[in-house]
Amino acid sequence: MTTNVTADTRQAFERLRRLSAELDGISVDWQRFAQLAEQSGPAPDRVGQIDALAAVLVGAGLQRADTQRAVGLLLALPAAEAAIASASPQAFAALLRDLAADGDAEGLALALHEGPADPHRYAAHVRELVESIGVADCDDLGALKVRAVMAAAKPGCVIGEELAGAIVDAIDAWARLKVETPEQRAIREAFNEARRLMDLHGDRDPRTMDAVIKALEWQDPGCCARMLAQGGLTMPAPTHCAEDGTRLYSLDSIADALGANVGELQAVAEDMEAVGLDMCRTVAGRLH
């Protein structure tokens, strides 16, 4: 069950994500903006800060009509970043695990960027450790990566071993997601949905079982029929199809294959329909 601190961290992260996305959508030369902002120096008060930001944004190519919105986003961003920076190690680790489980590569990239480890220093430390130890002697690459993360803490931050492990796992998850094929993504999402329904309804609920079967078939087409065959059961051939091409089976043929009563199967189908599963389809044609 999600704890309050983890829920608060996720809410703060989604606010940061929204602000970052809105800023990314603003048509401005951010490199030029950074140069001008550095030249302008600190403002004496909030009003001066607003005026200075507006002037810098215009100097970086933003239309004057868009400055009020852009200034508001820029002023809100530090608080959103601070909310993530102040999260407990446990809450930040939980956030990384949630994003990885969601297959959220963009979210992982943003969270890792805002986290306590400096990505550039981490990469440099990994290279240094590998060079000093030797690739052949790196029996536990995971432990080496954890050490590199702990050594790559940003100024003022301390990264414990548990959080470092979560960061390493998140980096590895991000790397996998970046090279994931559409088919691999579909399989992962199918299993994620099955796990979600299992947590929500239990493993005996029709919705859970339907999702598990779909995920298994995505991963290994025909595996369910093979498992039934190993148990001495052979599913009948479909006889009809729906408008979308879905193959349909008659209750009579399924009952014969399973040695079950048609009335009992009808009751099961109605129970599945009652929870939102589309079991009784309109026949559009016969298969030949």
**Rounded distance, CA 42 to CA 72, Å?**
17
N-term to C-term CA, the chain? 51
Tell me which of 118 and 287 has the higher pLDDT.
118
Least confident of 6-15, 87-96, 170-179, 234-243: 234-243
Per cent of the chain over pLDDT 70 is: 91
When comparing pLDDT for 187 and 88, which is higher? 88
The answer, yes or no, to whether residue 129 has pLDDT greater than 50, is yes
CB atoms within 10 A of CB 202: 10
Q: Which residue has the tokens 């909030």?
A: 46
Q: In this model, does residue 285 exceed pLDDT 50?
A: yes
Flag whether pLDDT at 162 surpasses 60.
Answer: yes
**Tens of pLDDT, residues 3-32:** 455 788 999 999 999 999 999 888 888 889
Please give the pLDDT value at position 1. Answer: 40
Residue 2 predicted with pLDDT over 50: no
pLDDT tens for residues 179-192? 878 887 788 788 88
pLDDT in tens, 260-284: 788 888 888 777 788 877 776 666 5
Torsion angles phi and psi, residue 25, rounded to 5 = -85, -5
Tokens of 266: 């009808």
Strand partners, 285: 241
Instruction: Give the residue with greater pLDDT, 133 vs 188.
Output: 188
Q: What is the pTM of this model?
A: 0.62
For residue range 194-238, what is the model confidence (pLDDT) as tens digits? 888 888 888 888 888 888 888 888 788 888 778 877 877 777 777
Helix/strand/coil for 208? helix
Segments of the chain assigned E as strands: 240-241, 247-248, 285-286
Token duo for residue 147: 């050490």
Rounded average pLDDT over 108-135: 82
Residue 206 contacts residue 224 (beta carbons within 8 Å): no
Please give the mean pLDDT across all residues of the chain: 84
Tell the residue number behind the tokens 């301390």, with chain if given: 158
Strand residues in 151-276 grouped as ranges (E): 240-241, 247-248
User: Closest by alpha carbon to 235, among 255, 217, 208, 215?
Assistant: 255
The mean pLDDT value for 97-116 works out to: 92
The Cα–Cα gap between 165 and 149 comes to 8
